Structure 1
Amino acid sequence: MGTEGSGSAHRIIVVGGGAGGLELATRLGDKFGRRGAVAVVLVDRSPTHIWKPLLHEVAAGSMDPNTHQLEYAAQALWHHFEFQLGEMVGVDRAAKTVSLAAYVDADGEEVLPARTLPYDTLVLSIGSVTHFFGVPGAAEHAIALDTAEQADRFRRRLVSACVRAQNGLGRADADGRPRVDIAIIGAGATGVELSAELRNTAQVLNAYGLHRLDPRRDVHIHLIEAGPRILPALSERVSTETAKLLRKLEVDIFTSERVTEIAPDAVLTASGKHIDADLTVWAAGIKAPPVLATLGLPTSRLGQIVVKPTLQSEGDPDIFAFGDCASCPWPEKQGSVPPRAQAAHQQATFLYGALRARLEGKPLPSFAFKDLGSLVSLGHFSAVGSLMGGLIGGSMFIEGVMARLMYTSLYRMHVMALHGALRMGLDTITHWLRSKTRPRVKLH
């Protein structure tokens, strides 16, 4: 798929087509793909890409994933790199090969055989997977939001739960009113954004007549956090203001509540609470994919590849890692770079320059993360966040229209990194026009 490199070309394999991996492969392909001196290969287990911060909107139905997905094979053709479909299951560091599992379709039929790919430079950007922390019933009864398929599955179950409830097939209040209970475990950015989007979804589904439930009285949203406040990774002011906005949306917030079990119809906590749940979403934590533990490289307590400031792995200078799957030093905070989209974007930009230097035999620079702040979207209701940097002399709290515009711009910057300014502009106009001719929520 895409442009094949010659046998004598230096072969760079990027494993993982998330935001950072796809941006890196695109830029490297644009730089080297036409000349053939360097062969750039992108590997991913899915044929399509979607920006992961959008998945809560897919789950709530406010975004149709089909209109925002990008075909890796098409991107490879347009930007002169090769795409290989398959999941990485191992690396032979001595032979310098990557092993891919066979790819099977939805019917279980093998489409591509298991195979190995040779590399000269290997870049790992395979992201993260959900961390259930060993909570009984979590993997069986809670839905994670790692993929577009999982998010769309939740959306379908949400619509079904609302329709069942209005027809008397679900649970009911003490006064006999039908109700739907949605529990969200984890009040980080994903959990908070999903809770706000779901309130909007309940209102839209009611407006379109899919159910006759009162969107606020009958659809109950429970946000459950083990820590003392929501958005624990952000500033206390952002957390406090976001909690006020969520309470106005009648989202039930439970803090300092450690989940001990997920039942098919309830969430149980260490304090003894029994929270009804027709649907449960797990957004409480992430860890590195298990395959990284098989590579014989130093890993962090979360299973991430430990990297040097050059983003080279400890123990193998030919293997780089970045994004959620890497533990990258952040000296200013005496810790590691946080797993955020802005970090992956900065690291992809850094690696583009660093790999060029490596190919030219020059010393590798050191990566320095610049925290530009954080934004949390509450759908069309509002947005909150903080900006950081030298231009504003520290941190500045923002909310409302400005925060919403800046949040939207983050995705547009990603689109521009993949397609350029012209196509990004056309894409923006196309999606705006489509939004005027379609329901605000995906109804089927």
Structure 2
Amino acid sequence: MSEGIAQQDQLVEHEGGTKDLFSKFDDIIQTRETLLASGVEDPYNLVMEKVLSPTRAICNGRDTILLGTYNYMGMTFDPDVLDAGKQALADYGSGTTGSRVLNGTYQGHKECEDALKEFYGMDSAMVFSTGYQANLGIISTIAGKGDYVVLDIDSHASIYDGCAMGNAEIVPFRHNDIEAMEKRLKRIPEDAGKLVILEGVYSMLGDVAPLKEMVAIAKKYGAMVLVDEAHSMGFIGENGRGVCEEQGVIDDVDFIIGTFSKSVGTVGGFCVSNHPKFDIMRLVCRPYVFTASLPPSVVATAATSIRKLMHGSNKRAHLWENSKTLHKGLVDLGFEIGTDEPQSAIIAVIMPDLQRGAIMWEALLKEGLYVNLARPPATPANMTLLRCSLCAEHSAEEVQTILQMFERAGKAVGILES
């Protein structure tokens, strides 16, 4: 009898208003439901039925130009990269089934790290299973309780999550504001551990950080510097080493974080460094120690791609031409662009609001063009963006076709005047 009463009491307690842990997402759920109720196709549930090349895929049964991937250097279908992956798959199997500190380090992992060290001219390299994990692991391990992390307010989610995991004190400053960064550093106790985190290219607007000035200020106040070059590796800088190389500070930063999921064309993340104690990270970095390592086929494709990017000057030049052409063309059509001049392979087209941004996104998809619909809170200043990510494999003719598609779609939905 008492058991039955206890069960009833528990049921009443549950029905009486136990907090739904999903309630924190109600605003996002409502926004999504309102958007879909208007008849717009779900912009975050696109399926590519078949990928034809780095720049084209079949989406919803339609041959579609891809302008919303991070395949900046077009390495996903490079014959040498594919052959390396196939050979590693045949020689080593489909996965390692273990962590890097146990059974998960194969010859290919070492060769991939060697390729990174050669590419950046650095003493040490660590490969992670994702780029997100690279930031999460490195930041949380080197900046802990009592330390201060000074970062750009527009930093990537993985950077913020790394700070939170390490329990460091987060000190944000206004985006790309050199003076604001210095003011924050001045207020930190002189004897405290300090890490300044910057990005070479910021992914939403595609704008570049003033690293030369910022790194100098960081060093002036005794801070270590970490630069995330995820969106600049491969095509910015004489050798494709990113904004650090372009602005002449690659030897002054302490850590460079990057990813394989963009210019390298596969998946994974990494950190390179010249710090003499860096190798201890392999034993103390939890996201590295407690994660299964990348499959042999993945590190083989990454290593091959990285070595080819060392000699990618022609591709880099063509990508820059594509960026300049698209940026000017969109401005001439009357679109509002996130940067005054092209600074990277990312061109952000600013939309009036989420509803009209989604309508424009759908209109472009029906034209046969895929771009990213980026919305708050991921975007700066609550902007809705159509983010265009160019590829070195886009032909000059494709870029002109893209501009024609933007013009027709813009006029059809009222973003441009007819």
Same fold (TM over 0.5): no
* Larger proportion of strand: 1
* Larger proportion of helix: 2
TM-score by length of 2: 0.29
The answer to which structure, 1 or 2, has the higher relative contact order (CA under 8 A, 6+ apart) is: 2
TM-score by length of 1: 0.28
